[in-house]
Amino acid sequence: MTEKLSINPWIRMWTKPRETVRAIVTNNPRYRFHTLSAVYGLPAMLQMAQNMSLGFSYSLVGILLGCLFLSLFAGMIGITIGSGLLYMTGKWLGGSATFLQVRCAVSWSNVTNIVSILLWVALILAFKKMLFTEMFATSTFTSGESNLLFIIFITQFVMSIWSLVLLVQATSEVQGFSAWKALLSILIAFGIVIAFFWIVGMLMVNG
């Protein structure tokens, strides 16, 4: 296996996910896994920092450095768990992919997170430390800020849908079954996650 590809997967994945994933899996299913883990993990860590209102306790620089540092590890864990679930549900439906092939599909379907990172950059430049406090949700915004938030919301929504489309196509390619069956395997995996957190929540409430 070689690390050199005949295509640019960062561009080609957006419009030709099957062809791109096929080329990567044939070349090396581990290709750019760590980079993609960081790309996946950074928006997740920034969102967590916002949800936890870390702006009350840490400087903006400290928050950003912490998120950057943890992004790789968070992304690796998230992608690995998601890939494990999809590998399992894919096997239930007769899929033929190995775990590494499924992980490759999951990793590269998150290439849309590059846009998410750019959206976070725009938010940080516009709102700075306030973005990471609970005051952000209750603030009164100017018309310009409201327009920015609306554009970011719409863009993020579109990216989320497109990421799902890429995941369905990539999963279908590596598993060797239809897109509909790939979607079903994703929905089953999602259902397992929902059931897990529901059970944990019930145990905590009743405990």
HEC string of 132-145?
HCCHHHHCCCCHHH
Say how many residues make up the chain.
Answer: 207
> Is 92 among the domain residues?
yes
What distance in Å separates the CA atoms of residue 33 and residue 145, rounded to the nearest whole number?
A: 36
The arithmetic mean of pLDDT across residues 78-104, rounded, is: 96
**pTM recorded for the entire structure:** 0.92
In the chain, % of residues over pLDDT 70:
98
Q: What tokens were used for 158?
A: 């579109």
| Residue 1 confidence (pLDDT) above 80 | no
Based on the structure, what is the number of domains in the chain? 1
What distance in Å separates the CA atoms of residue 7 and residue 9, rounded to the nearest whole number?
A: 6
> Is 3 among the domain residues?
no
Structure confidence at residue 81 (pLDDT)? 96
> Is 175 among the domain residues?
yes
Q: What tokens were used for 167?
A: 């995941």
Helix (H, G, I), strand (E, B) or coil at 14: coil
Domain range spanning residue 77?
Answer: 12-206
Position 3 confidence tier, pLDDT thresholds 50, 70, 90: low
| Cα angle, residue 54 at apex, residues 53 and 59 outer, rounded to 5° | 135
